[in-house]
Amino acid sequence: MIPVAALADLPVGEGVRVAADVPIAVFRTGEGDEGSVYAIDDICTHQRASLSDGWVEDAMVECPLHSVCFDLRTGQPDSLLTRIPVRTHQVVVLDGFVYVCPSVEFATATVSPSGGGTSGIEVA
């Protein structure tokens, strides 16, 4: 587990970048019991921007370089600019401190022969 910060120190609606083999972005949405903490890979799969610098609304983060939003719960993008999701990570809160358990599995994408473009991408 990678220590991140005390839950009370995580800013609501903003991202925090965590150093790991692949940088991880941690987001806190909402206050108290109403809020949740999410962790995803910090690098956008469209233009390699830092998602921790993005704008957060509900459980989505918008890349700071363009309009692609990623679901913080699933890593799925909402745009045709990329169909490649970002990897999500498990978050654990123990005694008021936030930890991230990095996932080993990466989201992968392949282009099907009939697709010929982003419409033929299948996420495995």
Rounded CA-CA distance 5/9 in Å is: 6
Q: 24 pairs with which residues across the strands? A: 18, 41
Domains of the chain by start residue, with CATH: 2-123 (2.102.10.10)
pLDDT band at 22 (very low <50, low <70, confident <90, very high): confident
**24-38 per-position pLDDT tens digit:** 999 999 765 556 999
Q: Is residue 74 over pLDDT 90?
A: yes
Distance CA 86, CA 70 (A): 8
Please count the other Cβ atoms lying within 10 Å of the Cβ belonging to residue 58: 11
Helix (H) or strand (E) holding 29: strand 24-29
Tell me the percentage of the chain whose pLDDT exceeds 70.
80
- Render pLDDT for 78-115 as a digit per residue (tens, 0 to 9): 987 788 999 999 999 999 999 999 988 655 443 333 33
Number of residues written out for the chain = 124
Helix (H, G, I), strand (E, B) or coil at 35: coil
